[in-house]
Structure 1
């Protein structure tokens, strides 16, 4: 009887350890301007890293916003919805990620970036060129 309880306890502990809680940066986020939503989740190619995809863009009815500012002309006709916007963030602490890249479709540029979950439930995103960084605060989307 005791062996059965021990095995059940070990099995339960193994299952609980495997089912880790989601990182606080994961989820759907509304960008600071309110014009787009981004889904942040583990990258498909490497679950230890964090990535993000545009899931919604504010646009006139029937319009399909395109990546018109992309420096690569062959990519300018692709839709923004479904576009990978953030990629390859590595964990540096609880709710903190760094070493990633963020693509800004407004100007077609990609920046070194970091992100962190804030105690108030927002997400701070910083894009940097050399040592100069600009930050945005994203709110959790519904």
Structure 2
């Protein structure tokens, strides 16, 4: 499977959780997370009363065919299709849905679509990310890459 596809799958079934009021504690989603495949790092931060996630590192940051930085070329909006993958916002409207759980939307750079997602804190350095696309559901665990 190409690296971009693995990265996109990780993003599609990705996110995080923990109380916003206690966002700097060990059980918080705030910080940098390494995807289960180890091919991307996502910076999670507070955005008002929601949480945001942005790509900050890729194992393969350049397109092997062009040698240029990876871009959001599957985005159906032409004005967004050239934006770099590093710095790409992934999460929107991710809000508390219960104790240590958030629900909202995640952007899938593989097809330019935005999908529903749920995230929960699985431990001080583990984030359980789950999501569905149609009838296909799955999940993975991300690990804290730094504080």
TM-score, normalising length: structure 1: 0.72
Which of 1 and 2 has higher RCO (CA within 8 Å, sep 6+)?
2
State whether residues 128 and 141 of structure 2, in contact with CA within 8 Å, keep that contact through their aligned partners in structure 1. Answer: yes
Structure 1, unaligned runs of 5 or more: 1-19
Give the RMSD, CA atoms, in angstroms: 2.2
Partner of 1:39: 43
* CA displacement, residues 65-88 of structure 1 (integer Å, 9 cap, x when unaligned): 111121223322110111110121
Contact in 2 for aligned 1:57/1:65 (Cα 8 Å)? no
CA–CA separation in structure 2 for the residues paired with 1:119 and 1:131: 28
Q: Which one has the largest radius of gyration?
A: 1
- Once the two structures are overlaid, the 10-residue window that deviates more, 111-120 or 126-135, is 126-135
Q: TM-score, normalised by structure 2?
A: 0.70
Alpha-carbon distance between aligned partners in 2 of 1:24 and 1:70, rounded to the nearest angstrom: 31
CA distance in 1 between partners of 2:61 and 2:31 (Å)? 25
Counterparts in 2 of 1:60 and 1:126: CA distance versus 1, 3 Å:
closer
Could you list the structure 1 runs, at least 4 aligned residues long, displaced by more than 6 angstroms after superposition.
none
Matched, 1:55 2:56: yes
**Secondary structure in structure 1 of the residue aligned to 2:37:** coil
Say whether the 8 Å CA contact 1:29–1:38 is kept in structure 2. yes
> 1:92 corresponds to which residue?
97
Kept after mapping to 1: 8 A contact 2:33/2:41: yes
